[in-house]
Structure 1
Amino acid sequence: MSMFNESEERQELRKQVARLAGKYGRDWFTEKARAGEKTTELWLEIGKNGYLGINIPEEYGGGGGGIGDIAAVCEELSAQGCPLLLMVVSPAICGTIISRYGTPEQKQRWLPGICDGTGTMAFAITEPDAGTNSHNITTTARKDGDGWVLNGRKIYISGVDEAENVLVVARTEDARTGKLKPCLFVVPTDAAGFEAKPIPMEIVSPELQFQVFIDDVRLPADALVGDEDGGLVQLFAGLNPERIMAASFSTGLARFALDKAASYAKERTVFKAPIGSHQAVAHPLAQAHIENELARLMTQKAAALYDAGDDIGAGEAANMAKYAAAEAACHAADAAVQTHGGNGITQEYGMAGLLVATRAGRIAPVSREMILNFVAMHSLGLPKSY
């Protein structure tokens, strides 16, 4: 194995996941989405085969692998046309944070369900008035006797209707001024005072986005994950994996788009030859493929650094990977639609929906502008601009 090839185990993992997801495929996925149904069947099968919790310690039902393994699973699902957003959230963000900072009791309570898919956990950080500026979050947690009381609002929270619990980022009330001291709480979705309303989206996905209302939600002391003074370190333990997973989500979608476009370009004949023989069709696809392979390489680097415990190096690489992957996916989807001509905007060929799906990667989970700010400051040493 050279340092630019994944291990045989990782390559085999990719094959197995691709085979499993291929049984379902894009048509099944979009049918579910358009009918307002869920992809639970696929989710549970991934869990049953041990792929869902592959990054979680074995003693809690996981595979004992790293973020690179769960990212490979995420990418292969996307590449088969079944991108599962909750892969980014439940095992990668929530699973990582609880594995790192949870007590043995908390790990035993929540990680097995994350691994087998029966106890999916959503993640709530974004707020209507804070957006990208997470230092402005106003969801508060105050101590009340032995427990906590939470109040606040969250927006664009994925898959709340499919989750048993939500890992909510709040701040202790005395930290309202000064720097953000985030605290992480596991909130059951059926808790009194917890309400979620779906947000109508243009994206074709079985996984919905929600606005969440948290009104005097009472929690026991052990709902707090980690140390209430642990601050940003605990939060970022989940955010670097989130960026690596988001990159894999995008590179998988790009692969799916390019695969469909290349197949079409080989078969579709207009001027006596397959349209793929014309450089005006071939070159944008080739360019998108190059961009995507570069993004995949940076994603691999970010995952390797993260799994080696280099949080600073992983942070820089994860941001770059996420940026590059979103750009590559947008270019791939655009080129794929154009390759299909009029067919590219029909439901039958399923290309146009990729325009919105890939475009979301430039916005979430962190905007491309904030990544450029990060790189300008941390990689180039330029003064902070905001």
Structure 2
Amino acid sequence: MSTLGFTISEDQEQFARSARDFGVRRLAPFYKQREREGAFDRDTLLEMGEMGFFGVELPEEFGGLGLDAVTAGLVLEALSESDFNIGQLYVTMSLAGTILAKYCDPEIAAPWLEGLVRGEYLPGIGLTEPQAGSDAGKLAMRAVRDGDSYVLSGEKNSVTFAKQASFALVWARTGTVESRARGISAFLVPLDLPGITATEWEDIGGRAAGRGTLYFDDVRVPASHLIGEEGRGFAQVMQGFDYSRALIGIQCLAVARISLAETWVAAAARESFGKPLTSHQGVAFPLAEAETLVHACRLMCLETLWLKDNGLPHTTEAAMCKWWAPKLAFDVVQTCLLTNGHGGYSSELPYEQRLRDVLGLQIGDGMAQIMKMVIARAYAGRETA
């Protein structure tokens, strides 16, 4: 088991405060508007890029700040309090960016990473398929070498930013079906290549992000756009998910924390039977319990990021973050909605949108059952769990 050993410095706190102030001014007032429009405001993303909010952990050679994962998590948390979907973009940028920076040819990766850091380019993650989600070893999409290109054929489902992304990291089978995960390779694919079409789904939440399907009809991708070694793509993405799962935990808990902060104030201002609502244990105790659980889960997520920064194993802890934090956040936001009474059930307050948005991450990036299997194997062994 890991040992807790991180602290939050004043510099980290200051960066997070800057992100939180920006979120209150520039993100929160337009949270609902972005949902109605079903897209991000590109001017806002460019402004965020200028302020250094994207690519916090990416190397400076690619335009990033070269900071640690804990700092990236704190900035993500501050932004997600104001707009959960901006947080989802941040997580996807971190996942795609760290994979490209570590495994892709630097000359090929540089323009895409620099555009990502500036807020010009949105990335997509092309892993899930109609019959292959958690079991990524079953991927059916093919990538066939043809001279100095690979030809990609198939489809990718549940791609966030499907119609807004400039490029995607796409995983396809270069080996035999029998090779399963060992036959999977990863590619950097510009989404304006001939043969690529995108559709968008009608989701109940996360509408600003715009999840959808990417279709690849004999798409020719330069061989130089292979990420890492052929046949090693599955291992690369699994390592990336250890990071993104901890970030997702922070992202979801940010929504729970801000909902609790608002609800304490609202409950104290309302009276029932001549007393503030918070004087009634039936109101105050559920909120107190929620604060306790959120505090504990947040510490676990931050510790997981600290383990990553120190080069220590964190796969099990990341799985704990991923299954617990989205479920906990959903439950806490629901509690806050109910505590706010008939007003909480209205779209005038943000709880219904937060509830729908956070629900999606009980599915995306690995369902709870898969996360618990990862944890069980760590404690009981792969053969017995």
Letter in 1 for 2:162: V
1:40-79 equivalence runs, <5 A: 40-79=42-81
The answer for the alignment partner of 1:87 in structure 2 is 90
Q: Secondary structure at the match of 1:234?
A: helix
- Contact kept, 8 Å, 1:26 with 1:82, in 2: the verdict is no
Instruction: Tell me how far 1:364 sits from its aligned partner.
Output: 1.8
The answer for the alignment partner of 2:269 in structure 1 is 267
The answer for the alignment partner of 2:172 in structure 1 is 170
The answer for the alignment partner of 2:351 in structure 1 is 351
d(CA) in 2 for partners of 1:118, 1:382: 43
Instruction: Tell me how far 1:82 sits from its aligned partner.
Output: 4.5
Q: Deviations over 1:268-311 (max 9, x none)?
A: 2232122122111111111111111111111111111112222x
Q: Secondary structure at the match of 1:17?
A: helix
* Structure 1 residues 37 and 100, CA gap change in structure 2 (3 angstroms): closer
1:98-247 equivalence runs, <5 A: 98-172=100-174, 174-180=175-181, 181-203=183-205, 205-247=207-249
Letter in 1 for 2:108: Q
d(CA) in 1 for partners of 2:146, 2:299: 49
In the alignment, which of 3, 24, 34 is matched to residue 26 of structure 2?
24
* Structure 1 residues 176 and 301, CA gap change in structure 2 (3 angstroms): same
Letter in 2 for 1:357: D
Q: Secondary structure at the match of 1:160?
A: coil
- Contact kept, 8 Å, 1:248 with 1:299, in 2: the verdict is yes
1:355-370 equivalence runs, <5 A: 355-370=355-370
- Contact kept, 8 Å, 1:34 with 1:204, in 2: the verdict is no
The answer for the alignment partner of 1:8 in structure 2 is 10
Instruction: Tell me how far 1:253 sits from its aligned partner.
Output: 1.0
Letter in 2 for 1:128: P
Aligned CA RMSD, in angstroms, stands at 1.7
User: In the alignment, does 2:318 pair up with 1:315?
Assistant: no
Instruction: Tell me how far 1:182 sits from its aligned partner.
Output: 2.0
Q: Deviations over 1:39-91 (max 9, x none)?
A: 3333222211112011110111110012222222211111124542111112x
In the alignment, which of 292, 296, 310 is matched to residue 294 of structure 1?
296
Instruction: Tell me how far 1:3 sits from its aligned partner.
Output: 3.8
- Between the two proteins, the alignment pairs up a number of residues equal to 380
* Structure 1 residues 349 and 55, CA gap change in structure 2 (3 angstroms): same
Q: Deviations over 1:335-363 (max 9, x none)?
A: 10111111111011121222222222222
Q: Where do 5+ consecutive residues of structure 1 fail to align?
A: none
Letter in 2 for 1:347: S
Kindly, what percent of the aligned residue pairs are identical? 28
